[in-house]
Amino acid sequence: MEMQETGEPAVERTLMVFNCHEAWVYQLGVLGYGLDVITGLKGRYKQAWDEQIRPVPTGCQFVSLSEALESRKRYYCIIGHNIADLLDVKHRSEPRLIVIHSTLEGRMLEEKSDVEPAQMKELLHNYLDMVGGHAVAVSQLKGRSWGFTEDVVPFFADPEDYLPYSGENACGLRICNFVESRKRILLWDLHDRAFGGLPIQIVGHNPGMPQVTAARNWEDLKRMLQSHRFYIHTADPKLEDGYNMATLEAMAAGMPVVGNRHPGSPVEHGVSGFLSDEPDELGRYAERLLKDRDLAVAMGRQARKTVSERFSKGGFREAFLRSIETARHKWHGRKVDL
């Protein structure tokens, strides 16, 4: 059994985690802790864990919010994804942290909120300061957006989790959910102008796009990543990162990436993919990869190397374990007792 620095078996520690961003929550399985994942939450597009995105994480059991609130179990840390999650557990007396998955501006735009961004930022900062909570951002951009730059822990993609790349399907691939509400964030106009008329498959939960379906499960997704020629990611640099988890998965699987120029992109132009803000040029790069499988294989090999070096499983595990300890330290120094 794996031991922590304290000498205690990791499995004796359990985290309470709200069920959202399943691909990210799944990664918590590498920490070696137990996971009580709260399902059945209001406002989520799926009440249960979405196994189309990821299988059930290691060490996981599912509980309702009422069960979690009434449980006599002492959680090592409570992990939420928004202010509502923190408020739901306000009467529990354990350390808690919030994971920043989106920019403040992007979230306000997607939710069509009329709340002032500065007001939302101040509310979260004041609340965390009062209760001794801790914020972890998944990227520098998202941390800066909310004013939390103390702790940034990028997600990871492990090349060992994916199938050997073949690229035999001369077709591009893009994985994204709820495109209709995120078109500005994802620069969808650029996507349409660059790739319209080319063989492109979009995968994900998209009620407004009846021709688009989600993968059946993670294994099905891995086969798509193995067989498609290149991956697409476009995003407004002010609203979203130059990559998302699906982009890193594609790179880990050995796919080259095509997208817009973005200061946060892990893609090296001409080496692990192609970047351009000009739709015609971007389309020509895509056509070049569609015609040249050997080029895609060579670029994908470099993309895989980038992920191994910059977004490793070990790096995530070490950094997020530190984040949890920071949350515990802040909790003990909180200004109010709950």
The DSSP secondary structure of 142-211, one letter per residue, reads HHHHHT--S-B------GGGSPPP---EEEEEEE-S-GGGSTTTTTHHHHHHHHTTS-EEEES--TT-TT
pTM attached to this predicted model: 0.92
pLDDT for residue 1: 39
Q: Nearest 5°: CA angle at 140, between 136 and 59? A: 35
Q: What is the pLDDT along the chain (338 residues), one digit of tens a residue?
A: 344 444 444 447 999 999 989 999 999 999 999 999 999 988 777 889 999 999 999 889 999 999 999 999 999 999 999 999 999 999 999 999 999 999 999 999 988 888 888 899 999 999 999 999 999 999 999 999 999 999 999 999 999 999 999 999 999 999 999 999 999 999 999 999 999 999 999 999 998 898 999 999 999 999 999 999 999 999 999 999 999 999 999 999 999 999 999 999 999 999 999 999 999 999 999 999 999 999 999 999 999 999 999 999 999 999 999 999 999 999 998 866 66
Check whether residue 135 and residue 180 sit in a common domain: no
Query: Domain with 145 in it: what CATH number?
Result: 3.40.50.2000
**Spatial distance between the Cα atoms of 56 and 181, rounded to a whole number of angstroms:** 28
> Is the domain of 135 the same as that of 214?
no
210 in any annotated domain? yes
Evaluate whether residue 338 is within a structural domain. Answer: no
Tokens of 182: 């995120």
Residue 94 lies in a domain: yes
Q: Specify whether 123 is located in the same domain as 177.
A: no
> What is the pLDDT, as a whole number, of residue 145?
97
Which sign, positive or negative, has the C-alpha torsion 305, 140, 248, 13? positive
- Using CA atoms, how far residue 270 sits from 2, 71, 146, 173, 304, in Å, is 42, 54, 33, 19, 15
Write the DSSP string, 127-155: HHHHHT-EEEESSHHHHHHHT--S-B---
pLDDT recorded at residue 182: 95
Q: Are residues 33 and 140 in the same domain?
A: yes
**Do 98 and 199 fall into the same domain?**
no
B/e letters for 242-255, b = 16+ CB within 10 Å, e = fewer, are bbbbbbbbbbbbbb
Looking at residue 10, its pLDDT comes to 46
Please check whether residues 216 and 189 belong to one and the same domain: yes
Q: Is residue 186 assigned to a domain?
A: yes
> In the chain, where does DSSP find H-type helix?
22-27, 65-70, 83-88, 104-111, 117-131, 140-146, 188-195, 218-227, 245-252, 279-291, 293-310, 313-332
Structural domain containing residue 126: 10-156+313-332
Domains in the chain: how many in total?
A: 2
Nearest CA among 308, 315, 325 for reference residue 154:
315
Does one domain contain both 31 and 139?
yes
Provide the pLDDT for residue 338.
60
Asked if the structure places residue 337 within a domain, the reply is no
Q: State the pLDDT at residue 263.
A: 97
Q: Do 242 and 200 share a domain, yes or no? A: yes
- Do 63 and 36 form a contact (C-beta atoms < 8 A)? yes
Q: Is residue 173 part of a domain?
A: yes
With b for 16 or more beta-carbon neighbours within 10 A and e for fewer, the 133-160 pattern comes to bbbbbbbebbbebbbbeebbbbbbbbbe
Residues 164 and 152 in one domain: no
Structure tokens at 302: 């470099």
* Whether residue 217 sits in one domain with residue 141: no
Kindly state whether residues 111 and 207 are assigned to the same domain.
no
Q: How far apart are CA 114 and CA 166, in angstroms?
A: 47
Q: Which two tokens stand for residue 278?
A: 């000009």
